[in-house]
Amino acid sequence: MDDDLDNPKAHKIFCANCVNCKLVKIPVGNGSQYQLRVRCTAGVWNKKSGEEKLHKYFTLARRTCETCDHYVTMGDTRGFLRELRASLPTRDELYQV
């Protein structure tokens, strides 16, 4: 999985390492549970309908783009992504309030 980081020709921007990438809790069912989603506060992730797109938290390390006018790095991409990939859940999970 670190191929993207080791390949000098892979000039991808990892959304997870941007200050605009935020974690949000989305209530599920009767409100006693929630799921984690990520959103771009700069409004880059949109559906064709124009509605904001929220991505599942466990897929965060996969979110990349070629260019982004709103990208503001939070620091060392390689180290951050290594830690993130090690700590992310492997599937979508429900959390208790």
* pTM given for the model: 0.82
pLDDT (average), residues 11-33: 94
pLDDT at residue number 58: 96
**What residue spans define the domains of the chain?**
3-96
Question: Each residue of 63-96: pLDDT tens digit?
Answer: 999 999 999 999 999 999 999 999 999 999 999 9
pLDDT at residue number 50: 94
pLDDT confidence band for 6 (50 / 70 / 90): low
For residues 72 and 51, the answer to whether their CB atoms sit within 8 Å is no
- Within 10 A of 48 (CB to CB), how many other CB atoms are there? 6
